Structure formats: C-alpha cells, structure tokens
Amino acid sequence: TKKMGENAKVAVRNLRRDINEHAKKKEKNGEITEDDLKKALDKIQKSTDDHIKNIDAIIAKKDKDIMEV
C-alpha cells in the first residue's frame, strides 16, 4: 500500500507541475495578471497539500486494517 500511496502522490505532484506551467504561460501571454498567477499558484499548492493529506490518511487506514487481520 505504501508503494501505491507514493505513486498517487507522484501523480498529484505531476498534475501540480503541469497546472503551474499552464498558469505561468497564461501570465507570460498576458492572459492573467501576476497577482492572479500568485493566487492561482497558492490555490494549486493548497489543493495539492489537501490531496497528499488525503492519500496519507487512506494509506494509514489501509495499513491499520491490514495489521488487524
């Protein structure tokens, strides 16, 4: 389960990287302001952190369930 959890976290981080790059391109192209970019990057990071916490909680519960069997 730990390997699955790590794989899920890597996937979330890869999505964060892709979305950050997209937002930075929009700012570079003048589609959004620098302030909008900063807000977007902060939201993206918070969402990433929330998803990582959820993954950790799920893995911890699964590990506990396995140990009880």
22 vs 67, residue with greater confidence: 22
pLDDT, residue 41, reads: 98
pLDDT for res 65? 87
Contact (CB, 8 A) for 19 and 46: no
Q: 4 to each of 16, 25, 27, 46, how far by Cα in Å?
A: 18, 32, 35, 22
Tens digit of each residue's pLDDT (9 = 90 or more) over 12-41: 999 999 999 999 999 999 999 999 999 999
pLDDT value at residue 66 = 84
Q: Please give the pLDDT value at position 32.
A: 98
Kindly state the average pLDDT of the residues 48-55: 98
